[in-house]
């Protein structure tokens, strides 16, 4: 056994141990009912400020959703990043998730850090679907102490799983529908990597000033269970287009708040319904073409190694001379090559 600085024991979970934690039929049905047009409405980037109870800006939260593909499979990419300070100590969180159209997690990376005076604390968690299993690797670094843990769950026991990443997209969808079905209970993996429940409920409407205008917001409450700690609760309020306007955890002195309304230019003059499959197909064709061009470029460079040598010499001279006018330097540097090319052309024509 290690002294805590090595690799921790690996737990392989058995399906029979988790029968008590299942997503509700309503939650599973919600995931299955997601329409392509709804996902298209969730593809945008938003930015909120982290405010103290006194209104001081402590940091920011930025969340983006876009269509992409992973291992040739069309999917959605969610990226969220928050940064700020707790009692003067810089901290932040980054989440990157690849999700299917029904919010199934293909891959997700989570990173959290706090920079303290005498040491740093960093937590990372990576989950990947592999051979009908969800494999989760977690690592915690506190100064020089490192603790690692690996857990594997059969996908059959993770029906209705919601993660840090997928929960953000899920709430955008709920906000667009302006309704939370009864008994919306999903499953999660808590801080100890145990399966637990998370529930979503409606908290009604409220008014809030955003960018100098008072707007009507739709409220959603999320409660997250834990085996080793008390449940955590967040209240989130959304604009009618799905943008997050306010988010606050119960007991926390920090509130995430939207300070300016989303640009109307970004929304466009009107909403044109798009079919996700067609959009993904076009995007897939674009990526295939991009890969083909990249391969052609690599092949061309292999056939003409003098290109790398020429650019390498140019960069070396540029860094040695450090000219103020880079464009003039490049022009003067390549003039001899242009003259040489012209002379060769005249010889050939003669």
pLDDT tens digits in sequence order for the chain, 350 residues long = 344 444 333 444 444 455 578 999 999 999 999 999 999 999 999 999 999 988 899 999 999 999 999 988 899 999 999 998 877 889 999 999 999 999 999 999 999 999 988 888 999 999 999 999 999 999 999 988 999 999 999 999 999 999 999 999 999 999 999 999 999 999 999 988 999 999 999 999 999 999 889 999 999 999 998 777 788 999 999 999 999 999 999 999 899 999 999 874 344 444 444 444 445 555 666 677 778 888 888 888 888 888 888 888 888 888 988 888 888 888 888 887 765 545 554 444 44
Q: How many of the other CB atoms lie within 10 Å of CB of 97?
A: 26
Is residue 89, in this structure, part of any structural domain at all? Answer: yes
Examine the domain organization and report whether 192 and 308 are in the same domain: no
Is residue 52, in this structure, part of any structural domain at all? Answer: yes
Q: How many of the other CB atoms lie within 10 Å of CB of 185?
A: 22
Entry pTM: 0.71
pLDDT value, residue 71? 86
Q: Which residue has the tokens 């690849």?
A: 98
Q: How many domains does the chain have?
A: 2
Is residue 79, in this structure, part of any structural domain at all? Answer: yes
Q: Which residue has the tokens 């700690």?
A: 229
Examine the domain organization and report whether 175 and 308 are in the same domain: no
Examine the domain organization and report whether 182 and 314 are in the same domain: no
Q: Please, what is the end-to-end C-alpha distance for the chain in angstroms?
A: 82
Closest CA to 27 of 139, 182, 145, 203: 182
Give the C-alpha separation, 173 to 180, whole Å. 10
Cα atoms found within 13 Å of the Cα of residue 75, Cβ hemisphere only: 19
Closest CA to 241 of 176, 178, 177: 176
**Structure token digits, residue 63:** 């969340």
Is residue 17, in this structure, part of any structural domain at all? Answer: yes
pLDDT value, residue 291? 81
C-beta separation of 223 from 233 below 8 A:
yes
C-beta separation of 235 from 221 below 8 A:
yes
Give the C-alpha separation, 9 to 149, whole Å. 6
Is residue 65, in this structure, part of any structural domain at all? Answer: yes
Strands 145-154 and 244-249: unpaired
Q: Look at residues 176, 196, 216 and tell me which one is the last residue of a structural domain.
A: 196
> For residue 242, what are the contacts with CB-CB under 8 A and spacing of at least 6?
41, 42, 44, 172, 173, 175, 176
Q: Partners of 324 in the beta sheet?
A: none
Give the C-alpha separation, 176 to 178, whole Å. 5
Give the C-alpha separation, 70 to 41, whole Å. 21
Is residue 164, in this structure, part of any structural domain at all? Answer: yes
Examine the domain organization and report whether 189 and 311 are in the same domain: no
Q: Look at residues 171, 196, 221 and tell me which one is the last residue of a structural domain.
A: 196
pLDDT value, residue 282? 59
Q: Look at residues 196, 227, 252 and tell me which one is the last residue of a structural domain.
A: 196
**Structure token digits, residue 190:** 């808590």
Is residue 187, in this structure, part of any structural domain at all? Answer: yes
C-beta separation of 241 from 216 below 8 A:
no
Is residue 74, in this structure, part of any structural domain at all? Answer: yes
* DSSP class per residue in 171-209: HHHHHHHT---TTEEEEEE-TTS-EEEEEEEEEEEEEEE
Query: If you compute the radius of gyration of the chain from its CA atoms, what whole number of angstroms results?
Result: 26
Quote the domain boundaries for residue 143: 7-196
């Amino acid at each position: 056994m290690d002294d805590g600085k090595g690799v921790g024991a690996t737990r392989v979970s058995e399906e029979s141990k988790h029968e008590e934690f299942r997503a509700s039929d309503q939650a599973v049905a919600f995931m299955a009912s997601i329409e392509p047009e709804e996902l298209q409405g969730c593809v945008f980037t938003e930015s909120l400020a982290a405010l103290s109870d006194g209104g001081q800006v402590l940091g920011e939260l930025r969340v983006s959703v876009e269509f992409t593909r992973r291992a040739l499979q069309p999917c959605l990419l969610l990226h969220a990043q928050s940064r700020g300070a707790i009692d003067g100590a810089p901290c932040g969180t980054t989440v990157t998730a690849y999700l299917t159209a029904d919010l199934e997690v293909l891959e997700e990376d989570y990173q959290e850090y706090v920079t303290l005076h005498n040491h740093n604390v960093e937590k990372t968690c990576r989950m990947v679907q592999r051979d009908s299993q969800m494999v989760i690797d977690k690592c915690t670094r506190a100064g020089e102490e490192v603790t690692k843990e690996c857990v594997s769950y059969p996908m059959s026991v993770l029906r209705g799983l919601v993660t840090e990443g997928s929960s953000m997209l899920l709430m955008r969808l709920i906000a667009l529908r302006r309704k939370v079905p009864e008994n919306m209970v999903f499953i999660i993996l808590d801080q100890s990597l145990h399966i637990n429940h998370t529930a979503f409920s409606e908290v009604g409407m409220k008014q809030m000033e955003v960018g100098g205008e008072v707007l009507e917001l739709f409220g959603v409450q999320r409660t997250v269970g834990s085996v080793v700690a008390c449940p955590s609760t967040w209240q989130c309020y959304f604009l009618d287009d799905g943008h997050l306007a306010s988010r606050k955890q119960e007991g926390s002195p920090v509130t995430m708040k939207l300070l300016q309304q989303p640009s109307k230019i970004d929304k466009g003059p009107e909403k044109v319904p798009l079919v996700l499959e067609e959009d993904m197909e076009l995007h897939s064709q674009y990526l295939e073409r991009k890969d083909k061009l990249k391969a052609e470029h690599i092949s061309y460079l292999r056939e003409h190694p003098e290109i790398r040598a020429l650019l390498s010499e140019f960069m070396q001279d540029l860094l040695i001379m450090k000219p103020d006018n880079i464009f003039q330097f490049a022009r003067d540097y390549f003039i001899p090559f242009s003259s040489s090319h012209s002379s060769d052309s005249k010889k050939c024509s003669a």
